[in-house]
Structure 1
Amino acid sequence: MFERFTKPAKDLVRGAAEHAERVGDPYVTAEHLLRRLLATSGTPGAVALATAGIDGEERRSAVERDLNEARRRGGITKSDTAALAGIGIDVAEVVDRVESTHGRGALARSRAWRRGRTRFDADAKAVLEQSLRVALGRGDKAIGDEHILLALVAARGIPAEVLADHGATYAAVEAALPAVQRAG
C-alpha cells in the first residue's frame, strides 16, 4: 500500500515514526500521525487542516496541549471520562493519585523504543487502511496526506476528538478539500 502514497503522505508516515522513536513510544499511533501533520505546512493535508480551522501556531499549540492532556490521562477520551463519571469514577482524581505515587505522566504510553522494523498500533494501521478507502471513494489514484487527515477525523479516538473540539470535523475537512485541490 505504501507505494500508492504521495510524497507528502510518505513524509507524514515517516515523520510520525521518527516522532514515536524520538519520544520513546514503542509503536506509531494515530496520535503520532496527527502530531506530524500539525508540524507540516504547504501539503494538501496541512492546508485542508488549516482551512478547517487549525490555522496558525496558537491553534496548533492548543491541539498539541489537548493531545498532551489526553496522553496524560492514558489515552482516555472525554466521552469515556464522562461515562466513567456516570458510575462514580473521577478520572482526574485517578490520574492525580497515580501521578502522586509514580510521577507526572505515569499513565502516558511512553516506553522504550524497540529498534528495528517500525511498528504501528492497531489504530494507526486502521487510519492508514481507511486512508486507502477514502482515496478510492473520492476517485483518487494515490493516497495523499489529505486522505490520512480524513481517515484521522473519521476514526474513533483521541485525534478525532481533539480535532473536533477545535472545529476540524470530518465535514469541515471534507469541505476544505475542494478549495485545496483547486489551489493545487
Structure 2
Amino acid sequence: RWIDRAGADELHVFAGAGSVDPTLLPDDAENAPQGAIVEVAPARAALMASIAERLAGLGGAGLFLDYGYLQPGIGDTLQALRKHDHEDVLANPGEADLTAHVDFAALAAIVRAHGLDAHLSTQGEFLVEMGLLERAGQLGANANEAAREKIAGEVERLAGPQAMGDLFKVLAVLPAGITVPPFATAD
C-alpha cells in the first residue's frame, strides 16, 4: 500500500505495484485471503540482526518489551496516536506518532539464527514470574486502604489480561544454554 495526495491537503491510501521479499512473509501468508494485509518491517529486522550479531560476538543479553504479537499474523496494526488517543493515520501528518505492532516471532527467529536463545512471553506472565505480586504485597503490607487499592490498580494495569499484560510482549535474548529466571528453557 502507498500513500499519496488526493488533493492539496488530503492524503489517501491506495494499492501500489510492487512485491515483497517472500522470506519476510509469515509461513501461512500464501493461505491469506485476497486483499489481506501482511505487515513487514525490514528496518526492524535489520536492527535486530545487528543487535543479535553483537550479542553473539561480544556476549550479553537483551530484554525487549513492546506491544505486538507472539505469532506471525495477517492484518493491519498501523495506527496513529496523538494526545493519548487514536486517530486516523493520515489525519495529522507530522503531529501524531505512527506505530505498528511488533512481530516478536520474527525477531525471535532472527535471534535464533545467530545462535542465541529467544524467550517469548506476555508482559503479564513475565512480570508475575519476576515477582510482581510478591512485590506488590510487600508494598501494600503496611499501607492504608487507598494505597493498597492504588497498588492493585497498577498491578492490574501492568499485568492484567485486559490491559498491558496481554497487549505487551517480551522477548528475552540470552546466550545459548544459559538459564536465567524466569526463563528456564528456550521457547
| TM-score, scaled to structure 2 | 0.24
More strand per residue: 2
| TM-score, scaled to structure 1 | 0.24
Instruction: Choose 1 or 2 for highest CA Rg.
Output: 2
**Larger RCO, structure (CA 8 Å, separation 6 or more):** 1
